[in-house]
Amino acid sequence: MGPMFAVVLVFVGCCSNVVFLELLVRDFPGCGNIVTFAQFVFIALEGFIFETNFGRKKPAIPVSNYVIMVTMFFTVSVINNYALNFNIAMPLHMIFRSGSLIANMILGIIILKKRYSTSKYLSIALVSAGIFICTIMSAKQVVSPLHNAGIGMLTFALLMSARMGIFQEMLYKKYGKHSKEALFYNHCLPLPGFLLLSTDIYNHCVLFSQSTPVLIPVVGLSVPIMWIYLLINVITQYVCIRGVFILTTECASLTVTLVVTLRKFLSLIFSIIYFQNPFTAWHWVGTAVVFVGTLLYTEVWSSVQAALRGPDTKEKKAE
């Protein structure tokens, strides 16, 4: 499976996932926990069978390190989905999470003492400004304590996600890259934590079962529509994550970041147009600034210029 196949998986999987997540959230705004739980169970089951060979394969990275990573990963996943309960529009949710690249950079400077070029620091300013514009404009549309709480939750999840990224970077430097193994343990170990959310998950199981039934032609069974949406959401989430995993093993990190960024942009545009989410001119300005800043961070402009200059430049460097 080559890079182009992986790109197709990312775009098809992730964009479809956003559509069916919004369909679920539109009818049941508080369904974040059951969606997260279903995704974790599916990916953990797949990893248990194909990655650990039914538990017979020992992990390359000590499980104690995965417990720390999983605590952060579980917290971020639950908070991001729970924030949807607080009048957070899906486009704003996606834009806010686009700032994870910059949050990771800031914590990298503080914790790992990293230093970056001027263009990197400029990208921080652009993405921060874009998120600020979109957040302020959305706050004006929905003025409520619930909305402010949702923004606070997204901010916390953004910083926690960045801290997790740095922790992963430190682990991979020490033990080597084991992305598929990490994917399994990140989804398997948190499963007991869902016992804390069992009441909410059960309540939404009941609500989903009471949704409008739809006849499945081939099987001839009548299934509640929300369960179908959830199943498709889980499958597309897996396709998306698998695509990202293939990219990380076959492409440079720049390519992965660019593909994921463009996927977020297309998902955002589709969500606004298809679901007619409220988006003002200022939202578009903020969105443009966020993605220009992210592209600047990934040095896309430099890569394009180098590609246009052709192989002569590479030959000179080689000499």
Extract the residue ranges of the chain whose pLDDT is less than 70. Answer: 1-2, 87-101, 135, 138-147, 248-258, 261-262, 265, 268-269, 271, 275, 277-278, 298, 300-301, 303-319
Q: What's 176's DSSP letter? A: -
* Tokens encoding 246: 């293939």
Which residues form the domain of 85? Answer: 29-225+252-306
**pLDDT computed for residue 305 by the predictor:** 65
What lies within 8 Å, CB to CB, of 299 at 6+ separation is 119, 254
Residue 4 covered by a domain:
no
**pLDDT computed for residue 311 by the predictor:** 55
Residue 96 covered by a domain:
yes
Residue 55 covered by a domain:
yes
26 Cα distance to chain centroid: 20
**pLDDT computed for residue 255 by the predictor:** 60
Residue 214 covered by a domain:
yes
Give the Cα separation of 203 and 31 in Å (integer). Answer: 9
Burial class (CB in 10 A: 0-12, 13-18, 19+), 22: buried
Residue 19 covered by a domain:
no
Residue 95 covered by a domain:
yes
Do residues 89 and 209 touch, judged by C-beta distance below 8 A? no
Task: Tell me the per-residue pLDDT of 225-258, one tens digit each, with 9 for 90 and over.
Answer: 999 999 999 999 888 888 877 776 666 555 666 6
φ and ψ of 215, to 5 deg: -80, 125
**pLDDT computed for residue 235 by the predictor:** 93
Give the Cα separation of 220 and 234 in Å (integer). Answer: 22
Residue 8 covered by a domain:
no
What is the identity of the amino acid at 111? Answer: I
The number of folded domains in the chain is: 1
**pLDDT computed for residue 43 by the predictor:** 92
Q: pTM (2 decimals)?
A: 0.71
Residue 169 covered by a domain:
yes
